[in-house]
Amino acid sequence: MSDKVIIFDTTLRDGEQSPGASMTKDEKVRIARQLERLKVDVIEAGFAASSEGDFQAISAVAAAVKDSIVCSLARANDKDITRAADALKAAKAKRIHAFLATSPLHMAVKLRMSPEEVLEQAKRSIRFARNLADDVEFSAEDGYRSEMDFLCRVVEAVIKEGATTINIPDTVGYATPELYGEFIKTLRTRVPNSDKAVWSVHCHNDLGMAVANSLAGVKIGGARQIECTINGLGERAGNTALEEIVMALRTRQDYFDMVCGIDATQIVPASKLVSQITGFVVQPNKAVVGANAFAHTSGIHQDGILKNRDTYEIMRAEDVGWAANKIVLGKLSGRNAFKQRLQELGIAIEAEADLNEAFVRFKTLADQKSEIFDEDIIAIMSDSAAAEEGEFYKFISLSQHSETGERPKSKVTFRVGDKEASSEAEGNGPVDASLNAIEEIVKSGAEQLLYSVNAITSGTQSQGEVTVRLAKGGRIVNGVGTDPDIIAASAKAYLSALNKLHDPSQVKLNAQMTP
Ligand code: KIV
Ligand code: ZN
């Protein structure tokens, strides 16, 4: 029997620490539901003590998720741990994750604590956490740059206090695969009670080796939990990419001899959702989830694939949830066909009113675009979910004029609360003119950090998906809009970001910044 590797997803915590990837409470719940469909074992939903917003988001995820363990990060002190336990109250299965730095540099410079003080605090915090939860993880922050003898003492002591998972992060992405694997192996060999806890790896990607290091931690080191994120989102150069870990374990089962419980067909929908919500576009040549990951353009490759797919394919696109990109519905498709396709795509609609609202969006799109692909349906459903989050500003219509040699003009009509407003402005281009027209009325004064356009499917018939990232008063928000007309998609994205700025309860001040 192959051993099981626990997949611990930290997209909502470490992933959110990517600058600009801050998520609202409702967005975290939407991603958590998708992670549950993906069947991840543990969802780290946030860092409860970092802000009231994150506390609320973790509570909402804990209440929504039924099949995965929900976890909150906490510094190794009573106050943070209590906050984590409170946020997790509604969870069916919960985990408290306490961390404390153990490297000489972090202890001396950041914590200003002696090794003995760190050891005592680690013990105390795990003892305290075990009074509040049975499932307690301890992370030795900057573990890979810690001294082996000291780290062994800390780990042995926290296992004695009841830590059920021991995580050894390569916090700064300094490790190399063999050395990291050997490091974990040495720890497991030298810590006398190492068999009383599950060993976990958590690798950052500063040198592009996070996935390789994590797999070495499992294969060489004997770890049985991998911490990872969708699309490898995370601090700086990111974290270990979940999709690459899962497909490496599956595709090279002959070598790893390990299984995980992930439903791989949910990988691409998860990747698209995270990319859409955070505005972090997936590079086309990204393994597994990049748009070109399964594209064969060279004639020799295409010929080989037609003769036998195994010539150039080690995985199947459909196994990781790539839709065949075929026309699935059109203008004449009815409500039942739409509902059935949603079910086939694994999109659950609870209330009839939500289905009706989504169907209206589908019909509107089908009037503009004759061929509706699975990707379009996923975008419609994302729009519907975003609309549920409350729309103070709502796009109605837009007309614009641009001609070579003239400054483009745009007129945008949109709802402001329960009133209709409309204004005109000029700009450098039609998009700029449209956003200026919106600003004429809203006067948000927000700084634009990002504007990106992405085609949802291939060809010029495709809908454009626009992401706008705005910053104001220390808050950063992402707005997404989709439409076959990219100017309209831009206006929708801008209004969506303004909606988030308008509703302060939705947005955290500096995601994951500890007070
Ligand atoms: O990278 C890291 O060390 C972390 C810990 C807090 C687990 O994210
Ligand atoms: Zn990390």
Q: Which helix (H) or strand (E) holds 481?
A: strand 475-483
Provide mean pLDDT across the span 414-438: 96
Ligand 2 center–CA 236 separation, angstroms:
10
Predicted confidence band at 28 (pLDDT cuts at 50, 70, 90)? very high
Ligand 2 center–CA 169 separation, angstroms:
7
Q: In the prediction, which pLDDT does 432 show?
A: 97
Decide whether 6-278 matches 387-506 in CATH topology: no
Task: Kindly list the protein residues whose Cβ atom lies closer than 6 A to any atom of ligand 1.
Answer: 14, 99, 139, 141, 167, 169, 171, 202, 204
* Rg, the chain, Cα only: 24
Mean pLDDT over the full length of the chain: 92
Ligand 1 center–CA 141 separation, angstroms:
6
Closest C-alpha residue for ligand 1 atom 7: 139
Predicted confidence band at 388 (pLDDT cuts at 50, 70, 90)? low
Residue % of the chain over a pLDDT of 70: 95
Provide mean pLDDT across the span 394-407: 95
Ligand 1 center–CA 32 separation, angstroms:
20
Q: Which helix (H) or strand (E) holds 8?
A: strand 6-9
CATH architecture of 387-506: 2-Layer Sandwich (3.30)
Beta strands in 217-342 (DSSP E): 225-228, 258-259
The residue ranges of every structural domain in the chain are 6-278, 294-323, 387-506
Q: How far apart are CA 76 and CA 78, in angstroms?
A: 7
Q: Which helix (H) or strand (E) holds 166?
A: strand 165-170
Residues 6+ apart with CB under 8 A from 367: 331
41 is in an annotated binding site: no
Provide mean pLDDT across the span 470-480: 89
Ligand located closest to 167 CA: 1
Residue-wise pLDDT tens digits, 337-363:
888 888 777 677 778 888 888 899 899
Is the pLDDT at 324 greater than 90, yes or no? no
Q: Which CATH code fits 6-278?
A: 3.20.20.70
Provide mean pLDDT across the span 141-170: 98
User: Could you tell me if residue 162 is left (phi over 0), alpha (psi between -120 and 50 degrees) or otherwise beta?
Assistant: left
Q: Which two tokens stand for residue 248?
A: 């490496």
14 is in an annotated binding site: yes
Provide mean pLDDT across the span 51-67: 96
Question: Whole-prediction pTM value?
Answer: 0.88
Beta strands in 273-418 (DSSP E): 393-401, 409-416
Q: How far apart are CA 488 and CA 258, in angstroms?
A: 48
Provide mean pLDDT across the span 97-110: 98
Residue 501: count other Cβ atoms within 10 Å of its Cβ.
Answer: 22
Q: In the prediction, which pLDDT does 507 show?
A: 55
502 is in an annotated binding site: no
If one residue of 72, 99, 105 were mutated to test the ligand 1 pocket, choosing by the most ligand atoms within 8 A of its CB, it would be 99
Q: In the prediction, which pLDDT does 510 show?
A: 53
Ligand located closest to 143 CA: 1
